[in-house]
Structure 1
Amino acid sequence: MKFTRRLALLAPAALAAARILPAQAQATFPSQTVRIIVPYSPGGASDIAARLIAEKLTPLWKQSVVVENRTGANGIVGSDAVAKAAPDGTTLGFVSVNHAVNAALYTTPFDTLKDFSVLSIIYSVPLVLVAAPDFAANSVQDLAKMVKAKPGDVTFANTGGAVHLAAEMFAHQVGAAMTNVPYRGSTAAHPDLIGRRVDVMFDTLPAVLGHIQGGKLKALATTAAQRLPILPELPTVAESGFPGFEASTWGAIIGPAGLPGPVAQKIATDAAAQLKEESVKERMAALGATPVGSTPEEAQNFVRAELTKWQQVVTQAGIQKQ
């Protein structure tokens, strides 16, 4: 991950709230139970990672750290609860790339930059471009030629979020359209992908790795910045003729805007420290995730860059904000 210089993004009202928080409260954080709101259903990567971090922070902080799933509107409902919470660190959130994608696709009840403190990027998961073994294209360049030759003929499976927008970004860089075929999730899309009822898909590494290793799908490239250790022969999209192409899903700890600096730093530092434990590394690896553990400054700048990137993709694809 590349992070740029720090940007001051906290709203004035939130800063005022932070100033009235007693210094003693900052020094003794946390002094009560901490709640982490996961705005997605149980069992997903964000939920599993949030529970793993909560499990490790509970004995460290000597306070209960509990996870609450608050779903709805692709994560907007739970995120809104975090935005409206008191800026004291007792209510946090654990969001995915949808946090940035939602800002590009939907009108939200909050400002994704100004109404949150992004505390740490916890993990990153790359996407992989896959197709059926007998699909005509065997490389990114092959696929690009097919798309250019017959715009609209090549179909891609869309399950929302970065999976959808990565395909739109690729089509824009190729300079010709692909046809979007929506699915509710990977489990619904994969049989059609394997059966050649849809041509290609950008999906998360954990979702497709078993199919790749089992020969049911072939991988054309990864959207990561570098090649993946688990698939070292697989090129990146960027090195396949599309410099700068990068897309991933990720997980981040957030809080409401105006969190006092010492509290924000403690949460980020303590969470990042857990990522160095072997048991945590193993659990992350099982999710296909690469631990990150960034500072609040780096995290805020990363999310800002993600917002800019996905907004540009949505605009280029002509997708109307809902």
Structure 2
Amino acid sequence: MTMNRRAAGARTLALALGGLGAALMPTGTALAQGQKAPAWPDKPIRIVVPYPPGGSSDIIARAIAQPLSQALGQTVIIDNRAGANGNTGADAVAKATDGHTLLLCDVGALAISPSVYPKLPFDPSRDLRGVGMLAYSPHLLVVHPSVPANNLAELVALSKRERLNFAVTAIGSAPHLAGVAVEKATGAQWNYIPYKGGSQAISDTIAGQTQILMNGMLATLPQVQSGKLKVLGVSKATRVPLLAQVPTIAEQGVKGFESGTWQGVMMPAATPPAVVQKLSAELTRIIRSPEVRERLVAQGAEVRTMTPAELGGFFEQERRRWAQVVAQGGVKPE
């Protein structure tokens, strides 16, 4: 009887210890079902800007990098990966698997790519997902100060007498298609000169190697304010406070015309929804903060935020819109 009791007690103790062991072991079904997902981020974050330094997207990325690092407790690295009108950097992010790589780009330009580049190595709609919109800045139509035109009508008339070089960040870029739209609407005759980024296009127009430029206000306004470039029009529905004396392109006869750069953040499509929502909330808070907002407004950008779902809808709307301009203008890659 004593032996049987001892055996039963031993079995009871073994079962109890076994249950305790199962609860403490970092493996097994119980942990797999109840385990919390690892905290994000758990390593440095890389923001890929698919253009050279100095452009609008680069300016936005550097404005949010430090606040984002402080908010998430991780280093934020800016990686300028230019090439193929932004597609090289976008492709790298679409294929990233580390869960900590972001794309900060002109969402409108990215929406144009499928229409201009039929053999992209990635599908923006399928391989990327929107995190949030950050800012918008209209395009400025500017010329070298020596160009004898002070408004769009005079510039169009001049272009019919003298072939003018129109600098664009790349064939198929948003500024290029904006120029095509104005050209088709007015009968102007531009000679498009493609560059590998906005900073190079600006530099050559300042130097007089090209005469006309359509580019984001964020990067172009300082050159207008310094007198190095002359602004003839703004591609916004209404005038902008910093250039209140400058009429919009729509006011100058191109009815309903509006274009610009829309800086937004995207991540690989496989990114967990919880990560997307967390990052979207932090980005929205940062971009709306007084210090960041005032800094961008002073440079000509407007804070424009969107949820991940809203950004996805905007992307598809822009894709359809610019596909028509590409088709009408016969735009083909370089």
TM-score normalised according to structure 2 size: 0.76
Larger of the two Rg values belongs to structure: 2
Residue 109 in structure 1 maps to residue 121 in structure 2: yes
Q: Post-superposition shift, 1:126?
A: 1.4
C-alpha displacement of 1:295: 0.9
Q: Deviations over 1:217-273 (max 9, x none)?
A: 432210022211101121211232222211112321110113333321221111010
1:266-305 matched pairs, under 5 angstroms: 266-285=278-297, 287-305=299-317
For 1:153 and 1:260, locate their aligned partners in 2 and report how far apart those are by CA, in whole Å. Answer: 52
- Report the residue type matching 2:207 in the other structure: P
Instruction: Tell me what 2:205 maps to.
Output: 189
1:132 offset after TM fit, Å? Answer: 4.5
Q: Does 2:39 match 1:39? A: no
> Please, which moves more after superposition, 176-185 or 118-127?
176-185
Whether the 8 Å contact between 1:89 and 1:264 is mirrored in structure 2 is no
Q: Which residue of 1 aligns with 2:7?
A: none
Distance in 2 (CA, whole Å) between partners of 1:57 and 1:98 is: 24
C-alpha offsets along residues 77-132 of structure 1, whole Å, 9 cap, x if unaligned?
A: 2211211123x742221122442343333231001111100111111221111234
* Counterpart selection for 1:139 from 145, 151, 163: 151
Contact 1:104 1:321 in 2 (8 A): no
Counterpart of 1:15? none
Asked whether 1:168 is paired with 2:184, we answer no
Q: Greater CA deviation, 251-260 or 264-273?
A: 251-260
Give the distance between the partners of 2:215 and 2:132, measured in 1 at CA: 24
Write the distance in 2 (CA, Å) between the matches of 1:52 and 1:129.
25
CA distance in 2, matches of 1:51, 1:206: 13
SS at match of 1:259: coil
- In 1, are the aligned partners of 2:144 and 2:205 still within 8 Å (CA)? no
Question: Which residue pairs with 1:55 in the alignment?
Answer: 66
Report the secondary structure of 2:137's partner residue. strand
CA deviations over 1:175-204 (Å, ceiling 9, x no partner): 4543224454210122217xxx63x33233
SS at match of 2:126: coil
What is the distance in 2 between the residues matched to 1:203 and 1:162?
Answer: 9
The answer on whether the counterparts of 2:235 and 2:260 sit within 8 Å (CA) in structure 1 is yes
The answer on 1:72 being equivalent to 2:88 is no
Question: Would you say the 8 A contact 2:152–2:252 is kept in 1?
Answer: yes
Give the conservation status (yes or no) of the 8 Å contact 2:143–2:205: no
Compute the displacement of 1:168 (Å): 0.9
1:248 matched to 2:260? yes
Q: 1:321 to 1:233 in 2, by over 3 A?
A: same
Determine if contact 1:223/1:246 at 8 Å carries over to the other structure.
Answer: yes
3-state SS, counterpart of residue 88 of structure 2? helix
Contact 1:34 1:91 in 2 (8 A): yes
Q: 1:288 to 1:89 in 2, by over 3 A?
A: farther
Amino acid at match of 1:111: D
Among 93, 104, 114, the alignment partner of 1:94 is: 104
Aligned to 2:8: none
Larger fraction in helix: 2
**Number of paired residues?**
294
- Greater RCO, CA 8 A, separation 6+: 1
Which secondary structure state, in structure 2, belongs to the residue aligned with residue 52 of structure 1? helix
Instruction: State the superposition RMSD in angstroms.
Output: 3.0
Which segments of 5 or more consecutive residues in structure 1 lack a partner in the other structure? 1-19
Q: CA separation of 1:23/1:277 partners in 2, compared to 1, >3 Å: closer, same or farther?
A: farther
TM-score for the superposition, normalised by structure 1? 0.79
- Measure how far apart 1:303 and its partner are: 2.0
**What is the rounded CA distance, in whole Å, between the counterparts of 2:220 and 2:308 in structure 1?**
32
Gaps (5+ residues) in structure 2?
Answer: 1-31
